[in-house]
Amino acid sequence: MAIKHDTGIATEIIHQFDSKPELLVQVLHAFVDRYGFVSEEAIRQIADELNLSRADVHGVVSFYHDFRTTPPGKHTVMICQAEACQAMGSRELTAHAERKLRIEMHNTSEDGNVSLEPVYCLGNCACSPAVMIDDKVHGRVDAGKLDKLIDACRGSNDE
């Protein structure tokens, strides 16, 4: 779960890696483990404490898919982008999901409910295209099935 940035805790995390700029990737992973994402404040503090420019840190954050810069949603929808799923239409399915959620990959819907992420093979190639929602894998997902799955996980938030 995403929690608010705390400069004291951030300093502790950075010190665990001896403030070494060459350990930037490990520092960023530690931030994602702690906060669920790497905020703009975190990027600023990491850059200052590792004696790097913000552009350096931004460059690494944007290079790796694991480092999201916005808080994760309550649910994560991962659409497989690997070969077997692509051959069965996962790109079109991704475009459909982006339209439905009004976001692009690596982002979270405005209501904070759903994050959309790529994944590279879910071990379900025989039933492609495959999608994982939270911890559950679904096979042979078309646009209609994806809509139902997303609506169901959004509905599960209702009191």
**Which residues contact ligand FES (rule: CB under 6 A)?**
80, 82-85, 121-122, 124-125, 128, 130
> Which CB sits closer to ligand FES, 39 or 124?
124
> Which CB sits closer to ligand FES, 55 or 126?
126
Radius of gyration of the chain (CA): 18
What does the DSSP assignment read for 100-152?
A: HHT--TTEE-TTS-EEEEEES--S-GGG-S-EEETTEEE-S--HHHHHHHHHH
Q: Which H helix or E strand runs over 76?
A: strand 75-80
Please report how close the Cβ of residue 48 comes to ligand FES at its closest, in angstroms: 41
Please report how close the Cβ of residue 15 comes to ligand FES at its closest, in angstroms: 40
DSSP structural state of residue 23: G
Please report how close the Cβ of residue 116 comes to ligand FES at its closest, in angstroms: 16
> Which CB sits closer to ligand FES, 16 or 120?
120
Please report how close the Cβ of residue 121 comes to ligand FES at its closest, in angstroms: 4
Q: In what order do the strands lie in the sheet with 131-133?
A: 107-108, 114-119, 75-80, 131-133, 136-138
> Which CB sits closer to ligand FES, 50 or 85?
85
